[in-house]
Amino acid sequence: MTKIIRGKIFVLDDNIDTDQIIPAEYLTLVPSKLDEYEKLGSYALAGLPDRYDKFVVPGETKTTYPIIVAGENFGCGSSREHAPIALGASGVKAVIAQSYARIFFRNCAATGELYPWESQERLCDKFETGHEVSIDFESNQLMNHTLDEIYNLKPLGEVGPVIDAGGIFAYARQTGMISSR
């Protein structure tokens, strides 16, 4: 069975940092508490400049965009795990970026919140927020249904099964690396 994520995309440019993904004032929320996890999602991308549309409509906890397309160096800045958690809590399933800050990429695997795909070309200049797309995990392709175009993505590699398991600790338990007690 082929795994596919489909939905509308939210387009960002280069150097989207963790303060833009989840502003520091919301870091007091504890993601392990369900109500605070949901509230954290409502603040995802709340630090973006005004040139962007609202990612989560005020008063809502979920976004209508399960996929983000971004430019270079996505997730740069401080090393907060809250960044991929906030995106996951908001309903994001995947980010497709030209490149990632290493710590953000690692935090995606550690938390198991979302899939960090890398594009083989600069997609943020070709797509618009609201385009309908799908990601095919088997073929490593992104289909833009709005434009009727297909783009190749770099394979997820070893991070895929870790995120499938729900994060690094769940993966370690699942594979017998650590005791599941």
Residue 35 has pLDDT above 90, yes or no: yes
CB atoms within 10 A of CB 19: 16
- Taking a C-beta distance cutoff of 8 angstroms, is the pair 145, 134 a contact? yes
User: Which amino acid belongs to residue 26?
Assistant: Y
- pTM of this structure: 0.94
**Given pLDDT bands bounded at 50, 70 and 90, which one contains residue 180?**
confident
Per-residue pLDDT, averaged over 127-156, amounts to 97
Whether residue 59 is contained in a domain is answered as yes
Phi-psi category of 141—alpha, beta or left, where left has phi over 0 and alpha has psi -120 to 50? beta
CATH value at residue 102: 3.20.19.10
Whether residue 96 is contained in a domain is answered as yes
Token representation of residue 62: 């979920």
State pLDDT tens for residues 102-125.
Answer: 999 999 999 999 999 999 999 999
- Taking a C-beta distance cutoff of 8 angstroms, is the pair 100, 73 a contact? yes
Per-residue pLDDT, averaged over 128-146, amounts to 98
E-strand ranges in the chain read 4-11, 67-70, 94-97, 115-119, 132-136, 141-144, 149-154
Q: How high does pLDDT run on average in the chain?
A: 95
Can you give the residue range of the structural domain that contains 13? 4-154
Going by the DSSP 8-state scheme, the letter that residue 18 receives in this structure is H
Whether residue 165 is contained in a domain is answered as no
Whether residue 181 is contained in a domain is answered as no
* Burial class for 36, CB neighbours closer than 10 Å (0-12, 13-18, 19+): middle
**Given pLDDT bands bounded at 50, 70 and 90, which one contains residue 1?**
low
- Count the domains in the chain: 1
Q: What is the C-alpha to C-alpha distance for residues 145 and 133, in angstroms, rounded to an integer? A: 5
